[in-house]
């Protein structure tokens, strides 16, 4: 694949940083659009100034992103939030309105490829606001820019992640671990996603398709807790509790700026987070996904 001009939107997040690293290695010229550029300071050190530019922009306002999309070969959208905050950082603004704006600019200016990162469980008919907004974002993207490629990862893990790293800290602190639900996950290694992105960019046949990225193993939440405990070489009591207890916990954390669980997340615990029967997955791209069992001991302790 020849070198491309790529605009990356929402480049300060965990997943985006790994993808940026791989794209830089291939020699692509990158523009990184961030709402808060001060959060992207470590990205600045990842590439030379003539290959990497960091720009302030907000997907809620087309005029702040359009000048930096115009002239690009590829646009990749990583924007996503796990919790709504006060003001305009809502699921709808970040996951539905923003992608609509991006797609409109890409369509108007004849951008070659648009890649949009969504998530497994995206569904406009879901009970959870997060999943509804993700579903609306996909719909908006495909209605406006039908040749877009959408990537839906399961829970992403790797050094610096917000899942195994956070869970390991909690398990070390709590003598008894509440298990509100035992739904299933198909955690996917961040470097496998980055490799999958590169494969998608190199293959024009992936345009207009939705890919679901998951790891090689489906694990229940209890099995994930036990894996972490075994890795840490500690023992804890895992106590199953009714899902109603999770709502009580969410209520107590409602005023926290970074709640460990929200009412919306409680709703998502009712469903598994695993890859569907789609033929479009990591395996179809020739990638042998790595298991969390082989990786997490390298970064949690």
Domain that holds residue 95: 5-153
pLDDT digits (tens, 9 = 90+) for 258-296: 787 899 999 999 999 999 999 999 999 999 999 999 999
Which residues lie closer than 8 Å to 294 by C-beta, 6 or more apart?
A: none
Q: Is residue 18 a part of any domain in this protein?
A: yes
pLDDT digits (tens, 9 = 90+) for 233-245: 999 999 999 988 8
From 5-9, 41-45, 226-230, 232-236, the region with the lowest mean pLDDT? 41-45
User: Which pLDDT band, with edges at 50, 70 and 90, does 301 fall under?
Assistant: confident
Task: Give the chain's mean pLDDT.
Answer: 94
pLDDT digits (tens, 9 = 90+) for 24-61: 999 999 999 998 887 777 888 888 889 999 999 999 99
User: Which pLDDT band, with edges at 50, 70 and 90, does 252 fall under?
Assistant: confident
Q: Is residue 42 a part of any domain in this protein?
A: yes
pLDDT digits (tens, 9 = 90+) for 124-147: 999 999 999 999 999 999 999 999
- Portion of the chain with pLDDT greater than 70, in percent: 100
CATH number of the domain that 41 lies in?
3.40.50.720
Q: Is residue 134 a part of any domain in this protein?
A: yes
Q: Which pair of structure tokens corresponds to residue 192?
A: 């496998």
pLDDT digits (tens, 9 = 90+) for 57-108: 999 999 999 999 999 999 999 999 998 876 788 999 999 999 999 999 999 9
Q: Is residue 168 a part of any domain in this protein?
A: no
Q: Is residue 242 a part of any domain in this protein?
A: no
Q: Is residue 149 a part of any domain in this protein?
A: yes
User: Which pLDDT band, with edges at 50, 70 and 90, does 199 fall under?
Assistant: very high
Total structural domains in the chain? 1
pTM of the model: 0.95
Q: In Å, how far are 31, 148, 199 from 287, measured between CA atoms?
A: 27, 21, 9
Contact criterion met (CB below 8 Å) for 56 and 64: yes
**So what's the pLDDT on residue 7?**
98
């Amino acid at each position: 694949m020849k070198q491309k001009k790529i605009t990356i939107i929402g480049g300060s997040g965990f997943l985006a940083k790994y993808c940026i690293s791989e794209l830089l290695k291939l020699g692509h010229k990158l523009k990184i659009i961030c709402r808060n550029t001060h959060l992207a300071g470590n990205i600045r050190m990842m590439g030379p100034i003539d290959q990497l530019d960091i720009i302030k922009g907000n997907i809620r306002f087309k005029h702040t992103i359009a000048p930096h999309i115009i002239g690009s070969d590829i646009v990749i959208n990583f924007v996503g939030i796990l919790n709504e905050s006060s003001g305009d950082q809502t699921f709808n603004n970040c996951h539905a309105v923003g992608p609509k704006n991006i797609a409109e600019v890409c369509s108007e200016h004849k951008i070659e490829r648009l890649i949009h990162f969504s998530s497994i469980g995206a569904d406009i008919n879901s009970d959870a606001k997060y999943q509804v907004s993700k579903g609306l974002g996909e719909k908006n993207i495909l209605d406006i820019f039908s040749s877009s490629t959408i990537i839906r990862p399961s829970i992403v893990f790797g050094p610096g992640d917000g899942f195994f790293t956070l869970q390991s800290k909690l398990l070390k602190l709590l003598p008894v671990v509440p298990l509100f639900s035992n739904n299933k996950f198909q955690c996917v290694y961040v470097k496998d996603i980055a490799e999958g992105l590169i494969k998608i960019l190199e293959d024009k046949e992936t345009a207009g398709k939705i890919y679901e990225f998951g790891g090689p193993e489906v694990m229940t939440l209890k099995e994930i807790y036990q894996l972490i405990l075994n890795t840490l070489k500690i023992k804890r009591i895992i106590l199953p509790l009714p899902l109603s207890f999770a709502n009580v916990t969410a209520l107590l954390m409602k005023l926290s700026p970074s709640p460990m669980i929200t009412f919306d997340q409680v709703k998502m615990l009712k469903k598994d987070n695993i890859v569907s029967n789609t033929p479009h997955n990591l395996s179809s791209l020739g990638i042998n996904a790595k298991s969390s069992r082989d990786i997490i001991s390298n970064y949690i302790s």
